Structure 1
Amino acid sequence: MDEQRGAGGGPPGRWRLWAPPRWWRDGPSGPGRRPGPDLDAVGEAPRTRRPWPWPSTVLLTAFVLVGSTFAEHAQEGERAALDPVARVLLLVAGATLLWRRSHPVTVAFGTVAAVLLYLGAGYPYGPVFLTVAVACFGAVVSGHRHAAWAAMGALWAGHLLIAHALYRWLPPSGDRAASWTQEIVTATWVVAIVAVSELARTRREQWARERAERAQAARRRADEERLRIARELHDVLAHSISVINVQAGVGLALLDSDPEQARSALTTIKDTSKEALGEVRQVLDTLRAPGAAPRAPAPGLDRLPELVEQAASAGLTVTVVGEVPELPPGADLAAFRIVQEALTNVVRHSGSRHARVRIDQDAGRLRLRVDDDGPATGAAAGGSGNGLAGMRERAAALKGTIEAGPRPDGGFRVLAVLPLDAEEDR
């Protein structure tokens, strides 16, 4: 408990009205990792394979088929009429999108190949380009940026080759080269798709980072709360059990020879254990109802006389020098626990039966000094060695310091300096 004295942590893929689908925000494996169909976002456990995008694929394929029929009537005489081969190519380009989540690169190049075959056969321009847009969009947001760019570049280069070099040998007969204005429009369309995809990818990665940061902050808060509760329990139990241990020894020693003194020791044990149970219950209540206000105020230096009385019942005379100032709640609790732990150390580890507590306040700082004359008993205290560490943690939380060690003239000293304005700045 104290150092010895002496020498020296919902179903995927659903669309919501208030946010993009989870597969878009977090990706299959989180940012910076290769996608995998069976992994959730960063920090989450593996999950089941997400379902294929049937609804969106069926709707898009139907739109492409119907829209291409209208495009055929609008471009009648300019482009070849739709035949079974054309409709198979349109169906293939749309149906390929079913695999856009599990195999985004393959789907991107597959749709590009189907669209180039469709254009090379002289069929009408139309919504078939949407299949490439959706496939490349999915590849970019899933992390395959360069593959998506290459697919879009292949589409533009293939269209350029068909419209300006191979059109003489491809249907429809008598077709002329496309205008360069049309090529500029096509290139602009490609750039727009890439830009939108990159924007979506950046936004998704930002959401994933924010989500990971929130999870990390939650783990950090949980760790800090766990440490705070551990400190509280340690300080309460170490002090109270030390007093109970001493009084139990006194009671056993005087049970036959001085029953009245033994009765007084048992009364002290009863009062100390009751107080300790109350403080432990208060700490545990915060676990049962996080965020709830404590039923009793946190202890502060105004309870220093109680510490002095408890120490006296354990055979330790405590002299207090200085007046108790008005302190912020956090500093008041830390100061009380530091003095409590220091006196507990004297009871457990020192042969001295007298301790001095000095309280000074100047320049926005509180100085607490606890001295005893020693010598160290060297007896095993049964503690875990966390007493001084806990005091240092309390002081560090307020940007203060703790010095603890043997005095040159013998005995032991604990000196705490707590900035009183640090709590207000946090």
Structure 2
Amino acid sequence: MNRFANPVVRQWGWLAATAVLTILTFAIVLHTLQSDTGLSNRQALGLALAQGLALLIAVRVPHAAWAISAGATALCSVWVDAGLWVDPMFNSHLAVLALIAFGTAPRIAAGYWCVSLVLAVGLTVALRPLDAVAGSIELAVLAGLALVAGGASRALLETRRTLRRQRDAVDRERERGALLEERARIARELHDVVAHHMSVIAIQAEAIRVRDPAAAPPTLAGLDTIRDSAVTALGEMRRILGVLRSGETGLLPQPALTDIDALIDSVRAAGTPVDCAVTGDPAGLPPGLGLSAYRIVQEASSNALRHAPGAPLRIAIDIAPERIRIRIDNEIRRDAGTAPGTGQGLPGMRERVTLLGGTFHAGPDASGAFRVAVSLPIGEPKP
């Protein structure tokens, strides 16, 4: 990685370069004025300090920088009777113009070129030097070149920044494409593995029903439930695979709280007694809230089937105008076997409820049952 791409490094580098240029200009101007002109040390020091200060602030405060540099240059021409311009002051003024053009727009830089010509005309009228015409032409040409050089440097720097941003954007898109490709590959592998096993489950369930048609009705009903669940899982896997491949969602309608009866029937078919009471109209809920409430009941029911299979499950859903309350109680049976889980059921429900601005509680109650209690606001969550 290029360390100069860091904005902090670039800023400190620019400050260091400006400081070095300022010090060099001050030293050169001071030495030249002291050695080649009849100015006193105090006059030379003041003029050198003025040019150094103008260089230091040229990018940040261009108006003040031009005024200081131009004033010092004109004052030196008045003090030293050696033509229209005194070389060290004139050359440092050109450097100030270049830095001004580097920090300003081209039309503003053109304005500084014009006022610099006005300055030359004013000095010509005041001093009437012999080299007035040559000095004015020299200022027009060299000042124009300095301003063009500063503006070109600015354009080059902006172009490099634009190219860097575009390169970063291309790199991000390339990484995103690689991520999507990896997701699609994982989705295909996951689909192949899970689809194979779910197909085996569905086929075996149907085969057992065919081989033993005289089995007890509860057994046949359980086999039907296994087969239907496997087929449903295969459909869900194909839907998820399509989402990961295309990056789109909503290929199938999402469930809502109005579909709670089908969910309860599937839990009962698994051998768990369920007592479900719904008060209020679930059809009037916002789609996102209805989906979240359905997922909460679904996850809580799945946890009950894993950790307390066969234990009675009581579900109470109360839909009020401002809030929906969900309470799910599952008896804790010490003699019931438990199935291993991912450990993400309760955290997932808690996160969903928190995002909706509701309250969540899960844990044993006084009667020894495991309770999940959820309260969700209807409408915008209050901060």
TM-score by length of 2: 0.54
Sort the Cα spacing of 1:33 and 1:377 in 2 relative to 1 into closer, same or farther, 3 A: farther
Select the structure that is richer in helix.
2
Residue of structure 2 equivalent to 1:134: none
Change (3 A) 1:261 1:319: closer
Gap change, CA 1:29 and 1:179, over 3 Å in 2: closer
Q: Distance in 2 between matches of 1:184 and 1:409?
A: 90
Partner of 1:189: 97
**Conservation of the 8 A alpha-carbon contact between 2:29 and 2:88:** no
- 2:289 is matched with 331
3-state SS, counterpart of residue 284 of structure 2: coil
- Looking at structure 1, the residues matched to 4 and 358 of structure 2 have their Cα atoms a distance apart, in angstroms, of 43
Q: 5 Å matches for 1:16-415?
A: 30-32=5-7, 141=10, 143-161=12-30, 163-167=32-36, 178=86, 182=90, 185-186=93-94, 188-189=96-97, 192=100, 195=103, 258-290=215-247, 292-321=248-277, 322-323=279-280, 324-350=282-308, 353-362=311-320, 364-377=322-335, 379-415=337-373
Which portions of structure 1, spanning 4 or more consecutive aligned residues, are displaced by more than 6 angstroms? 174-177, 197-201
CA offsets, 1:20-52, max 9 Å, x none?
Answer: xxxxxx975532565xxxxxxxxxxxxxxxxxx
Instruction: Give the 3 Å change call, closer, same or farther, for CA 353–382 of structure 1 in structure 2.
Output: closer
Summarize the Cα distance change of 1:198–1:356 in structure 2 as closer, same or farther, 3 Å threshold.
farther
Where 1:144 maps in the other structure, the secondary structure is: helix
Deviation at 1:380, TM superposition (A): 3.9
Against the structure 1 CA distance between its residues 195 and 189, is the aligned structure 2 distance closer, same or farther, given a 3 Å change threshold?
same
Query: Would the alpha carbon gap of residues 263 and 351 (structure 1) be closer, same or farther in structure 2, given more than 3 Å must change?
Result: closer
What SS does the corresponding residue of 1:262 show, helix, strand or coil? helix
8 Å Cα contact 1:341/1:387 also seen in 2: yes
- TM superposition shift of 1:355: 1.6
CA positional deviation for 1:296: 1.3
Q: After alignment, is 158-167 or 189-198 more displaced?
A: 189-198
Query: Deviation string for 1:177-226 (max 9, x for gaps)?
Result: 7189847844742652674599979x969x97xx79x97xx99xx9xxx9
Deviation at 1:260, TM superposition (A): 4.0
Residue in 2 that maps onto 1:135? none
> 5+ residue gaps in structure 2?
39-80, 105-152
Identity %: 31
Shift of 1:339: 0.3
Structure 2 CA distance for aligned equivalents of residues 401 and 175 of structure 1: 87
Secondary structure of 2:5 counterpart: coil
Larger Rg: 2
* Deviations, residues 132-182 of structure 1 (Å, cap 9, x unaligned): xxxxxxxxx57502321123214532552365233369xxxx976718984
| Alignment RMSD (CA, Å) | 4.7
CA–CA distance in 2 between the matches of 1:274 and 1:332? 25
- Structure 2 Cα separation of the partners of residues 159 and 401 of structure 1: 74
Give the unaligned 5+ runs of structure 1.
1-25, 35-140
Distance 1:369 1:325 in 2: 19
Aligned letter for 2:6? Answer: P
Shift in Å at residue 409 of structure 1? 0.9
Q: 1 CA distance for matches of 2:292 and 2:335?
A: 27
